[in-house]
Chain A
């Protein structure tokens, strides 16, 4: 099984500042035949189900603000929120869908400083 590890576990950032969350997979999730990274990011606001933010490591879903961006390849990935807004307070998860089971990282709790 591919193990996903996020860092940090929690993060406090001032409004308007940049937030960066890291995700590392225990093996590459880059599929060489199509050069795509099978890595997604989700946002879970307390009391709500997760919401898909980014797929293929860097493709924002429709309606997701452009302050959210994803980067990385192979085993190391990053979710960046360029200018933190109050509504971004949530827990963020990475997930690989390269192979079953589609494991999640342990989550990163993002708060306002």
Chain B
């Protein structure tokens, strides 16, 4: 059974940093691209970032570019999102999700339960 479990969420002050993790199991992690998607309280889904199977290619939404870094450790089947210079508008639930196939350009077929990030002084 495919499982994605996020951790590392919490309360952080504006301008602070936080590192999210997503532990994957039930599939060959190194064969799939992985994504982060976030959802502000009461709002819709916002695409954040993607990383290729080997970690060599990454993409960021303009809203987080230069502040967030996506990475992965295939030996530990874990995805990361290092978030810095956090702002009020970064607050919300952060989901990790799996690319639906080992190839390029596929939807997101499995999602974690999400990690809540609260930005407040």
Tell me, yes or no, whether A binds B: yes
Instruction: Give residues in A with beta carbon < 8 Å to B.
Output: 1, 38, 40, 42, 44, 49-52, 55, 61, 91, 93, 95, 97-107
In this complex, how many residues of chain B approach chain A with their Cβ under 8 Å: the count is 21
Task: Confirm or deny: B47 has a beta carbon within 8 angstroms of a beta carbon on chain A.
Answer: yes
A40 near B47 (CB under 8 angstroms)?
A: no
B61, B62, B95, B107: which contacts A49 (Cβ < 8 A)?
Answer: B95
A-B contact pairs, 13 of them (CB 8 A): A1-B62, A42-B45, A49-B113, A50-B45, A52-B100, A55-B107, A61-B109, A93-B44, A95-B47, A99-B105, A100-B59, A101-B61, A107-B45
Number of contacts between A and B (CB, 8 Å)? Answer: 56
Task: Confirm or deny: B73 has a beta carbon within 8 angstroms of a beta carbon on chain A.
Answer: no
Instruction: Tell me the complex Cα distance, A38–B107, Å.
Output: 8
Chain A residues within an 8 Å CB radius of B92: none
Chain B residues within an 8 Å CB radius of A101: 47, 59, 61
